[in-house]
Structure 1
Amino acid sequence: MEILSLGEKIKKLRKEKNLTLKELAGERITAAQISHIERDKSYTSYELLEYLASRLGVSVDYLLETKEMQAKKITDNLIIQSEIYIKCKDLEKSKEEINKVMSICTKYQLIDNYGRCNLLLATINLKQKDYNAAIINFEKSLYFFIQNNDKENIAKCYINIGKIYMEENFHKGAVSNFKFAEDILEENKLNDSSVKKDLYSNISFCYTQLNKDDEALEYIEKIKNLDITVNTKEEAELMVSKANKLMGMGKYEEAKQQFRLALELLEEEDNKNELANVYLRVCEVYENIGDSEKALDYSKRAYEIKKYDEDECSINVIIKIIQSYIQLENYEEARKYSKLALASSIKNKNKYFEYKALKYYSQIYKKEENIKMAIEYILKCINIVNELNDRKTLADLYIELGQLYTDISKEKELEYYQKGVCLYKNLEII
């Protein structure tokens, strides 16, 4: 992955082939002339380049590639490799690659790739929930992408800034950024269905938070008019390995193609999660406007995508289904999915989701007026939350437990109220 001048390339190839200056020169030129060329001190005609290329077993195009052209090819490949590291959740390794790329981009003034690097750094900071740093990187990316008139990446930056504002409950600011992105996508006829579905679901959610239910439903209708095919991931690691070998051989275009194929496979797997998240967001919109039937419908759609997975997204999907069934007073179905959530959380050793599943069991029994079982499950929740050292949630659970004891034991009711209030005071909530 060296970036070499013409002379440096010729010298490197000559040494790899164990040729002396005289052997490379042959009858065509002198050894002294070859020495001058290798030190970049002599002009080389195209005919001479053709001769040298044939002797060294490379193309004339390879010899003619400038340092800037080589830097562009190398950074293109390293950026794709960084994207793959991000998809594989190896964020530190990705940062290492990005820093290498930024150094090369600065040296050779590769504005477009410098912008892409800032976009990747922003993505990493977003995943690490460092929102201030992420916004700074997204704004830097915007500067470079606007310079290069890169509409697709400009839209991507606005979408991600919107997501950060949404995470921070600044829904008005989020909508503004989402609408900027929507305008760019529409004006430039950028028709990536997965991007649009994600965008529309987020706009819809923000409108419900701003009490604009009609606008929220309008964007759900837009989602219904789009279609996404869910694919599976395969052979990405093999492709990355092959691409790295091609990079080492200086075959940058072939390496880039392999990296791109690997990335597409990983993105297809990501699309599965993205589509599930879109349906979850639509589910939340319907929850907020009080339509439990529609909320259940979309949570079930997400479940069909994620039911064979064992990850955080799949448990979130099950939790949405439980919530919808509780709202619809279908407690048997709610209990069935609570059992699924509990089994999945225990299998994945995820204590937080184990607590959530047990909490729904308690909620179901409370709705059925089986207070004894509701208390039993709240006590199990308290044990887990104690382990997690989540004092705010623990305080909430003590208050809830006190309420459950209202008609059973005034002594227990007071005991648990006091525990909850004491924790609230320590946390300076009251």
Structure 2
Amino acid sequence: MDILSLGEKIKKLRKEKNMTLKELAGDRITAAQISHIERDKSHTSHELLDYLSQKLEVSVDYLLETKEMQSRRITDNLILQSEIHIKRGELEKAEELINEILNICKNYNLIDNYAKCNFLLGTINIKKEDYNLVVGNLEKALYYFIKDNDKENIFRCYLNIGKVYIQEAFFKGAITHLGFAEDLLTEGQIGDMDIHKDLYSNLAYSYMKLNDSEKSLYYINKISDIEMQNNIKDEIDMLLLKANNFLKVGKYDDSKECFKRALELLEEEENKSGIANVYLRISDIYKNLGNIDKVLEYSQKAYDINKNSEDKITIKSLSKIVDAYIENKDFEEAKKYCKVALALAIKSKNKCNEYKALKLYSKIHKAQNENTSAIEYLYKCANIVSELGDTKTLAELYIELGELYSNISKEKELEYYHKGVALYKNLEII
């Protein structure tokens, strides 16, 4: 992966062939002239280049390739390799390769490839769910894509930043960045209809989360208006968006109908994760209706479909099951599923899920008026959250500890309230 000058190339090739300066010079030129060429101290004619290429068994084009041309070719190839690593899930290899490419891009001012590398780092961190790093990567990529006037990749950056903000439940920020992406569509810069639909569905979801059903339905209708061949995935996405909107505005029967139709299509596709997600949303409908038995039924269905996995859906299913059993005051069953959630978290070494499982244990003990045990679990939660660096969640835990201490120790109650409030102030929440 060396980037060499003409002289350096000639010297390297000569050494590889175990040739002396005199042997390479032959009767064409002197050894001293070859030495000068190798040290880039003199220029060569086309005829001499032709002679040297034959002696060294390479093309003239190879010898004439400048450092800038080499850096472009090398980084293009390495970017392709890193994309393959990402597709295979070999994220560490991809990241290591991208950092090498970034150094070359800096040295040779390859703005476009520098931007692409930062975009790929963002993609890697999305897969790692490290959303703080993602936004930094994408914003850096965005800066250089704008300098290079690369409209399509500017769009992709805005779209992906919007998606990250959705993951972090920062829906206003998501709408701002998705709106920038939509402006590029309005200018007619992006022609891919699938990308249009991706943008509109994320806008619809964000507006739904902000309780703006009118705007949400507006973007759902924009998806419907796109002239493209319909397929099952599109229909499922549409039904789920409509179902979520109906659920948000309290139209539970309409929501159930949309979920039911989506479920039928997902079952045809044998999409287990999709089916589990729909079951969880149906359980939300029944929770709003106060039907805990149905909440339990659909949460259990979601868990049964996905229980061999260790992903978010499984943990979410278990959480809903535990909540339902707590609601029904069946604390032994609740503890049984807590144990499963904790075992899964420990097995996958997922500290975030371990915190969630311990939090459920605390919730059970609190519901049983066993505040001392509830406090012990919250202490464990606080230790994990502190390690993870999640200040907002830590503040919430301190406030909850203060509430639990209210009937045990006024001193401790005030201590934890103060701790929670101090963290909120640091975060500028209050």
Equivalent residues of 1:105, 1:113 under 8 A apart? no
- Picking from 364, 371, 379, the partner of 2:368 is 371
- Picking from 409, 423, 427, the partner of 2:420 is 427
Summarize deviations over 1:172-218 as a string: whole Å, max 9, x none.
3421322433565785333678x965x56643442123212355467
Equivalent residues of 1:358, 1:380 under 8 A apart? no
Aligned residues: 355
Equivalent residues of 1:322, 1:360 under 8 A apart? no
SS state of the match for residue 408, structure 2?
A: helix
Aligned CA distance change for structure 1 residues 428 and 32 (closer, same or farther; 3 Å): closer
Match of 1:52 in 2: 52
Equivalent residues of 2:161, 2:177 under 8 A apart? yes
Alignment of 1:193-232 (within 5 A): 202-213=202-213, 215-216=215-216, 224-225=233-234
- Picking from 104, 119, 128, the partner of 1:101 is 104
Aligned CA distance change for structure 1 residues 81 and 319 (closer, same or farther; 3 Å): same
Is the counterpart of residue 319 in structure 1 residue 315 in structure 2? yes
Equivalent residues of 2:280, 2:299 under 8 A apart? yes
Stretches of structure 2 lacking an aligned partner (at least 5 in a row): 224-231, 238-271, 387-393, 423-429
**1:103 is matched by which residue type in structure 2?**
K
Match of 1:24 in 2: 24
SS state of the match for residue 211, structure 1?
A: coil
Equivalent residues of 2:322, 2:337 under 8 A apart? no
Aligned CA distance change for structure 1 residues 349 and 22 (closer, same or farther; 3 Å): closer
Deviates more, 1:214-223 or 1:146-155: 214-223
Equivalent residues of 2:204, 2:220 under 8 A apart? yes
**Whole-Å separation in 2 of the counterparts to 1:182 and 1:299:** 39
**1:23 is matched by which residue type in structure 2?**
E
**Percent of aligned positions with the same letter in both sequences?**
44
**Whole-Å separation in 1 of the counterparts to 2:295 and 2:69:** 54
Deviates more, 1:58-67 or 1:141-150: 141-150
| Superposed displacement of residue 360, structure 1 | 3.2
Equivalent residues of 1:6, 1:38 under 8 A apart? yes
| Superposed displacement of residue 81, structure 1 | 6.8
Bigger relative contact order, structure 1 or 2 (CA pairs below 8 A, ≥6 apart)? 1
Match of 2:397 in 1: 393
Match of 1:188 in 2: 190
Aligned CA distance change for structure 1 residues 220 and 162 (closer, same or farther; 3 Å): same
SS state of the match for residue 225, structure 1?
A: helix
**Whole-Å separation in 1 of the counterparts to 2:70 and 2:278:** 44
Summarize deviations over 1:42-82 as a string: whole Å, max 9, x none.
3332x554443232232333222122110112333555677
Match of 1:259 in 2: none
Equivalent residues of 2:175, 2:206 under 8 A apart? yes
Deviates more, 1:285-294 or 1:209-218: 285-294
Summarize deviations over 1:92-111 as a string: whole Å, max 9, x none.
957853652343233xxx22
Is the counterpart of residue 15 in structure 1 residue 23 in structure 2? no
Alignment of 1:323-342 (within 5 A): 323-325=319-321, 337-342=337-342
SS state of the match for residue 58, structure 1?
A: coil
**2:374 is matched by which residue type in structure 1?**
I
Equivalent residues of 1:204, 1:285 under 8 A apart? no
TM-score (norm 1): 0.61
Stretches of structure 1 lacking an aligned partner (at least 5 in a row): 229-274, 403-412
Aligned CA distance change for structure 1 residues 202 and 335 (closer, same or farther; 3 Å): farther
Match of 1:343 in 2: 343
**2:11 is matched by which residue type in structure 1?**
K
| Superposed displacement of residue 9, structure 1 | 1.0
Alignment of 1:266-345 (within 5 A): 308-310=308-310, 314=311, 316-325=312-321, 337-345=337-345
**Whole-Å separation in 2 of the counterparts to 1:302 and 1:182:** 37
